[in-house]
Amino acid sequence: MNFDAKIPSGPLPQKWDRYLTEAKLVSPNNKRKYELIVVGAGLAGASAAASLGELGYKVKCFVFHDSPRRAHSIAAQGGINAAKNYQNDGDSVERLFYDTIKGGDFRSREANVYRLAQVSVKIIDQCVAQGVPFAREYGGLLANRSFGGAQVARTFYARGQTGQQLLLGAYSALSRQVGLGTVAMHTYEEMLDLVVVDGHAKGIITRNLVSGEIACHAADAVILATGGYGNVFNLSTYARGSNATAIWRAYRRGACFSNPCFTQIHPTCIPVSGDYQSKLTLMSESLRNDGRIWVPKNVGEKRAPGDIPESERDYYLERMYPSYGNLAPRDISSRAAKRVCDEGRGVGESGLGVYLDFSDAINRLGLDTIRERYGNLFDIYKEITDENAYEVPMRIFPAVHYTMGGLWVDYNLMSNVPGLFVLGEANFSDHGANRLGASALMQGLADGYFVIPYTIGNYLTGIKGGRPAVDHADFRRTEEEVRARLKRLLENKGKRTVQSFHKELGKIMWDHCGMGRNEEGLKKAIELIPQLRAEFWENVTVPGSGEELNQSLERAGRVADFLELGELMCRDALDRRESCGGHFREEFQTEDGEALRNDEDYGFVSCWEHQGDDKAPVRHREPLDYEHIQMAVRNYK
């Protein structure tokens, strides 16, 4: 298989402009004739649906939520990057581009990342015009903060609710189009399969989550913006409903899955407290601007943090990475936390925690400033742990937070299945092996507002033959398969709950495909997961029927897909015999425990192709050819 990314020719800084001047346009009259399906209304989906509707396409937008405003994007706290250089601290498109490529440990595609940095500046303009209330300085201009992996302050934020405000901005644009009739909004409607006709994506099969009705929807192109798949680990910072079904079903219909093992473990989350735990809560990375991370120097320290003198504390990030200190990138900070905890220096009851201490910042800046900057995060911390972080240091521990992998897309954001586009966290494209903080929001909005509206025309102008009717044989067949699967889940009537399988899968994934991975563990997981999957289909119980609101059934389908995806992640992790970014293979590390990359053999994007239920998938590759920069050792010391 050929993975041609279709990158425009010319020097890197000019590629996107050149693309825009050469892109084929669809005339306004013709736009009305095209029907587009957008699945998802997070930052990526809402911005895409709104912009495409505004251009005159007929858009149908689907979400499993009750409203587009509930997408998981709403939970993003910290901020969004853009190369505005409003702080006059030397930022530029080139610098944001380089930071992102380097942050991703040289495993992302140059041309996509460069374009992302270029359009980042327009995103902020767009959002401000929509009324997004970003934080401002007293002079009335926009304020910025810094985030991990950058030495400039380029992150825009709205208190600790940046994702919420950006999503509400995109949602307002989408609402406007719904009101104008250009976008038909389908809430409570979950995509359960992709319909491919003559090799092109031509529609989807959905289930209405309230009535249980199964429906077929045909279109000229299908856009998936369905978010990340981190809930494969069960415990994560994702919303409980986030799932991989849309992209996994597309994978099973021929779309290749790239770099599935690249997952991000976020260093600053509230530690697990018990077996009943249903999710992990992120404490925004922005806290690392002012908080200092430390553990006791002594193994088995029992004193309260306040009683441990300065000389017996190890500010390990500042020690190990003096130039970035507490703002070292996420993968590096998470691994460092794991290392000190593995040494027995972790804090809290479980020993799986490190301190994030604000006492210096409070002394330096005053309580009020800290309260103004982080008040809501301190409140969340208090609610969950019943501890006051103004007085005692927070306890934090890494947790699964983001998935860099996703469906393969070319420069147009189109997968290898023509007519299937993938945006936002659901695609693999921009973050390589590790995503920098505040870059996911940027990518979601870049894809939706500023890339897909231009690239989709190139596909639409080239297709022949219109939309198939929904009674086309391929629709009928796919629909039958969807119905059969639901029936099988409902009629199984086994003994174990869906949740119990999800928990068990999560544990396998965390133990063997989490922060540290090795050949033995991954091979074990590749044995265990198919066994668990077989047991699921033997022994799962799903109460109720398919013709009603049935949360157990929704959950069952999603967990069934995670049980397949988890195995693919382990296969990818096993296949990639190097360490890079969030993928740390214990066999491949430097003497001082840093990731040891192997550009010669693994300077590529993995592209996994489904072969059928009983066959191992095949790994293809898209080589990463860097023209503009050189792959370098990633150094934050």
Partner 1 sequence: MKVRLKVWRQKNDRTAGSFEHYDTPDLNPNMSFLEMLDVVNEVLTEKGADPIAFDHDCREGICGTCSLTINGKPHGPHRGVATCQTYMRSFRDGDTITVEPFRADPFPVMRDLIVNRAAFDKIMQSGGFISVRTGAAPDANTIPISKEVADLAMDAAACIGCGACVAACKNASAMLFVSAKASQLNLLPQGKPEKDRRVLAMVQAMDEAGFGNCTNQYECSAVCPKLISEDFIARMNRDYMAATFRQTFGSVPSTVVGG
Ligand X SMILES: Cc1cc2nc3c(=O)[nH]c(=O)nc-3n(C[C@H](O)[C@H](O)[C@H](O)COP(=O)(O)OP(=O)(O)OC[C@H]3O[C@@H](n4cnc5c(N)ncnc54)[C@H](O)[C@@H]3O)c2cc1C
According to CB under 8 A, which residues from 144 to 163 bind partner 1? 158-159, 161
Q: Please, which of residues 69-108 interact with partner 1 by CB under 8 A?
A: 69-70, 72, 74-75, 84, 86
By rule CB under 6 A, what string of x and - marks binding of each residue 184-223 to ligand X?
Answer: ------xx--------------------------------
551 binds, among partner 1, ligand X, none (CB under 5 to 8 A by kind): partner 1
* Residue whose CB is nearest to ligand X in the complex, by number: 42
Q: What are phi and psi of 197, to 5 degrees?
A: -120, 125
Write out the DSSP string of 530-543: HHHHHHHHHHB---
- Taking CB atoms within 8 Å and a gap of at least 24, the contacts of 612-616 are 616/571
N- to C-terminal Cα separation, the chain: 40
72-80, 316-324, 404-412, 519-527 -> range binding ligand X (CB under 6 A): 72-80
Residue 318 has a CB neighbour count (10 Å cut-off) of: 15
Beta-carbon contacts of 141 under 8 Å, excluding residues fewer than 6 positions away, are 86
Residues binding partner 1: number (CB under 8 A): 83
253-261, 398-406, 496-504, 609-617 -> range binding partner 1 (CB under 8 A): 496-504
What are 137's two structure tokens?
A: 């300085």
233 binds, among partner 1, ligand X, none (CB under 5 to 8 A by kind): none
Give residue 39's Cα distance to chain centre. 16
Contact indicator for 444, 224 with CB cutoff of 8 Å: no
Minimum CB distance to ligand X smaller for 26 or for 46 = 46
548 touches partner 1 by CB under 8 A: yes
Provide the angle, in degrees to the nearest 10, between the axes of the packed helices 551-575 and 519-539: 160
Minimum CB distance to ligand X smaller for 73 or for 108 = 73
> CA–CA separation, 52 vs 54, rounded Å?
5
β-pairing, 35-39 vs 58-62, is: parallel
266 touches partner 1 by CB under 8 A: no
Beta carbon of residue 318, minimum distance to partner 1 (angstroms, whole number) = 29
Contact indicator for 502, 241 with CB cutoff of 8 Å: no
**For residue 354, what is the enclosing H or E element?**
strand 354-357
Contact indicator for 501, 532 with CB cutoff of 8 Å: yes
521 touches ligand X by CB under 6 A: no
CA angle 110, 112, 115 (to 5 degrees): 105
Contact indicator for 494, 541 with CB cutoff of 8 Å: yes
159 binds, among ligand X, partner 1, none (CB under 5 to 8 A by kind): partner 1
136 beta partners: 142
By rule CB under 8 A, what string of x and - marks binding of each residue 194-233 to partner 1?
Answer: ----------------x-----------------------
Beta carbon of residue 70, minimum distance to partner 1 (angstroms, whole number) = 5
Minimum CB distance to partner 1 smaller for 295 or for 456 = 456
Minimum CB distance to partner 1 smaller for 519 or for 548 = 548
Q: What are phi and psi of 353, to 5 degrees?
A: -175, 155
Contact indicator for 199, 14 with CB cutoff of 8 Å: no
Query: Which of 7, 15, 78, 255: binder of ligand X (CB under 6 A)?
Result: 78
136 binds, among ligand X, partner 1, none (CB under 5 to 8 A by kind): partner 1
65 touches partner 1 by CB under 8 A: yes
Q: Please, which of residues 579-608 interact with ligand X by CB under 6 A?
A: none
Helices (H), 467-550: 473-492, 498-513, 519-539
By rule CB under 8 A, what string of x and - marks binding of each residue 446-485 to partner 1?
Answer: ---xx--x--------------------------------
127 touches partner 1 by CB under 8 A: yes
Query: Which of 31, 60, 69, 72: binder of ligand X (CB under 6 A)?
Result: 72
Query: Which of 49, 440, 525, 556: binder of ligand X (CB under 6 A)?
Result: 440
58 touches partner 1 by CB under 8 A: no
Q: Please, which of residues 230-259 interact with ligand X by CB under 6 A?
A: 237-238, 242-243, 245-246
Give residue 475's Cα distance to chain centre. 30
Q: What are phi and psi of 35, to 5 degrees?
A: -110, 130
Contact indicator for 325, 377 with CB cutoff of 8 Å: no
Q: Please, which of residues 4-43 interact with ligand X by CB under 6 A?
A: 39-43
Minimum CB distance to ligand X smaller for 282 or for 456 = 282
By rule CB under 8 A, what string of x and - marks binding of each residue 577-596 to partner 1?
Answer: --------------------
62 touches ligand X by CB under 6 A: yes
What string of H, E and C letters represents the secondary structure of 158-202? CCCCHHHHHHHHHHHHHHHHHHHCCEEEECCEEEEEEEEECCEEE
128 binds, among ligand X, partner 1, none (CB under 5 to 8 A by kind): partner 1
CA distances for 314 relative to 119, 346, 356, 416, angstroms:
41, 11, 12, 49
Minimum CB distance to partner 1 smaller for 339 or for 488 = 488
40 binds, among ligand X, partner 1, none (CB under 5 to 8 A by kind): ligand X
Chain positions contacting ligand X, by CB under 6 A:
39-45, 62-65, 71-73, 75-80, 162-163, 190-191, 225-228, 237-238, 242-243, 245-246, 282, 401-402, 424-426, 438-441, 444
